[in-house]
Structure 1
Amino acid sequence: MKNVYFLSDAHLGSRAIEHGRTQERRLVNFLDSIKHKAAAVYLLGDMFDFWYEFRLVVPKGYTRFLGKLSELTDMGVEVHFFIGNHDIWCGDYLTKECGVIIHRRPVTIEIYGKEFYLAHGDGLGDPDKKFKLLRYMFHSKTLQRLFSMIHPRWSVELGLSWAKHSRMKRVDGKDPEYMGENQEHLVLYTKEYLKNHPTINYFIYGHRHIELDLMLSAKSRVLILGDWINFFSYAVFDGENLFLENFIEGETLL
């Protein structure tokens, strides 16, 4: 039985991350290290800091990462790509060229007899009206069509600059620390969702850039995956147990 892996929030291409090429190589080295052990890899959003597909144009860069995704799918490994709030604007390029399966909303799926609820996490339980408005605008097909009319020289520059500003306005460029289960929006959302869906064993999210593994009931856990900026973290399910791990190059992985 092969493993199933979950990771999120690499924000590849971010202008707020020093040594971005090294970061991408580390991610690619991780994917290479699991390619013979993986049945599936779930990328739970914000793998790119900004990604926008025009009809005939995609952003430059990310060659090593996209090549490794293609290698995995060519080997028969399922690669599932969830859009986040930084890479909402995926078209069919990643599916056609890299063979990944795109998910645009949360998914409930059975893996080796266990029920998983998977999502990036943006917009789930967050009462912030400004964020809700931005999310609505970013998902608007009309606004996307208008944005596509802008030359990529300016539109991609705008997107990358916006993403950098979004990160740098935080203290030290980092997200807030864990606020406790009674204040974390994703935990509160999950507790409410679990009331009507008690058969779900594992809830797995990205988005918050913290590592969290919390028991909600005797049979249910919620995990927040950290990121590939500070933690280089991932979850792995071997069919019986789910672990939250950190990638240290040179170590033997599960």
Structure 2
Amino acid sequence: MKIILKENQKIFFASDFHLGAPDVSSSKKREEKIIRWLDTIKDEAGAIFLVGDIFDFWFEYDKVIPKGFIRFLGKIASLRDRGIPIIFFTGNHDLWMNDYFTEELDIPVYPHPLQIVVNRKKFLVGHGDGLGPGDKKYKFLKTFFTNKTCQLLFKWVHPDIGIRIAQNWSGNSRITNQKKQEDFFKGDQEWLWQYCKHVEQQMHFDYYIFGHRHLPLELPVGDSAHYINLGEWVSQYTYGVFDGQNFQLKHFKY
């Protein structure tokens, strides 16, 4: 994918909104904040990248999508109507996406990292789940989550039951991760950082942009590349901006 930014345009990156978690009330407040952020960037956005776990759970039946998020969906629909490209990546919480975004909102959805060139700068962008060393349990489970037969079998469960089961699974997974206390910088053991270093040995990118870790990070990868983790919007409200020359991590306060 190639993007040429016009004068005064920027590209914006955000991930891990986890809309729907942990309850309706707090999710709606977060949704309102996300919409305010989208309103502040719409006049200078050359493109917006939503880099996974935008929803705490998402599953598309043939005629049904999860209840809620209508303000967010309406906002990104209006941004597309303005001609702003929006690129969506699935994460480990919303990997069961099909064609709703592409057909209804004209937003492409990518399940894997994507190579992008912006004004001659090379980016590798993705959510980050399942990459790098370790996390073997999740990698094993993901083979079932992404299996077409397993997804078809799940579709046979009534949405009221299936979505409730999946939401409980998502909540238990989040609680388990909190108990592991993994939301701290692991130094050289940061597995996404290790992944970027490995890729850089094979092919150069100026920026590696990922989410998933819930930690806003900017770390060197070799001499002229950087690994960026976008953080999250449950408590940090961090996002990335590329102005055609430089990349910055920023915090949305309002």
Q: TM-score scaled by structure 1?
A: 0.94
Query: CA separation in 2, counterparts of 1:217 and 1:227?
Result: 26
Answer yes or no: is the 8 Å Cα contact 1:225–1:235 preserved in 2: yes
Alignment of structure 1 residues 120-199 onto 2, 5 Å: 120-171=127-178, 175-180=182-187, 182-198=188-204
Q: Could you tell me which amino acid in structure 1 is paired with residue 119 of structure 2?
A: Y
1:89 aligns with 2:96: yes
Q: What is the CA-CA distance between 1:211 and the residue it aligns to?
A: 0.7
1:179 is matched by which residue type in structure 2? K
- Asked if 1:74 corresponds to 2:81, the answer is yes
> After TM superposition, where is structure 1 displaced by more than 3 Å over at least 4 residues in a row?
170-175
Identify the residue that residue 30 of structure 1 maps to in structure 2. Answer: 37
> CA-to-partner distance for each residue in 1:53-79, whole Å, 9 max, x for gaps?
000111110011101110111001000
Q: Which segments of 5 or more consecutive residues in structure 2 lack a partner in the other structure?
A: 1-6
Structure 2 residue 116 is the aligned partner of structure 1 residue 109: yes
Number of the residue aligned with 1:235: 240
5+ unaligned residues in a row in structure 1: which ranges? 250-254
The change in CA–CA distance for 1:76 and 1:174 in structure 2 (over 3 A counts) is: farther
1:99 paired with 2:106, answer yes
Question: CA separation in 2, counterparts of 1:132 and 1:193?
Answer: 19
Using structure 2 for the length normalisation, give the TM-score.
0.94
Structure 1 counterpart SS, 2:17:
coil
2: CA distance, partners of 1:89 / 1:191: 29
Q: Which residue of 1 aligns with 2:4?
A: none
The offset of 1:216, in angstroms, is 1.7
Contact preservation (8 Å) 1:51, 1:88: yes
C-alpha change, 1:117 and 1:221, in structure 2 (3 Å) is same
One of 192, 206, 213 as aligned partner of 1:201: 206
| More moved, 119-128 vs 76-85 | 119-128
For 1:123 and 1:62, how far apart are their aligned partners in 2?
Answer: 27
Answering whether residue 230 of structure 2 is matched by residue 212 of structure 1, we say: no
Contact 1:16/1:167, CA 8 A, preserved across alignment: no
Give the residue type in structure 2 aligned to 1:162: W
Q: Is residue 215–residue 222 contact of structure 1 (8 Å, CA) maintained in 2?
A: yes
1:252 corresponding residue in structure 2:
none
Deviation at 1:171, TM superposition (A): 3.5
